Structure 1
Amino acid sequence: MSTMFQRLAVLAVTALVVAGCQTAEEARMADENRCVGYGFRPRTDAFAECLQRIDLDRRYALRQASRDALYMPPPVIIVRDHRHR
C-alpha cells in the first residue's frame, strides 16, 4: 500500500469520526451555548464574532489534523547486520 494512500485513508477516517460526533445543528447549538456562557447576548455583533471565532478555531484544528495526517514523517527502520567472524 502506498504511503500517500495510507495518509489519505487516515485523513478520511479522521474526518468521518469528527463528522459523526455531532450534526451541524447540534454543533451550532453547542457553539451558541458556549458564547452565551461567555456572557454574549444573542443577535449582537459580539455574539456573531464569538461564533465566528469558534468556527475559525475549529477550521484551524481540522487543517492541523489534515496536515499531520498527510505529512507524517516516514517511519524509521533500523537494520542491524550481525556478522559472525
Structure 2
Amino acid sequence: MVVTQKLYPRATVKRIVKAHAGRNISKHTDVLVFLDYMLFMQELMREASIRSRKSGEKNVSARSIRKVTETTLRKMRG
C-alpha cells in the first residue's frame, strides 16, 4: 500500500478562508486557493531572482523580494 503525503493541511486552509471571508466555502475551494498561492509564490521568486541578478547579487535577498512584492501583487490581482 502506497502512503502519499499531503501537500498542505486542507482543514486549516478551509478554516482560514472561512474566517477571512466570513462565509462557507465549497468543497474544492481550498485547492484553488492553494494553487493560486503557489502561483503567486513562484512568480514572486522569479521576479525577485531577476531583480537580484540585475543588481549584481548572487542570492535572492529579502530586499529584492520586498521591492517586487507590490508589482507581483498587482499582476496576480487579475
Q: TM range, normalised to the smaller chain? A: 0.3 to 0.5
Normalising by structure 1, report the TM-score.
0.38
* Bigger Rg, which one: 1
- The higher relative CO (CA closer than 8 Å, separation ≥ 6) is in 1
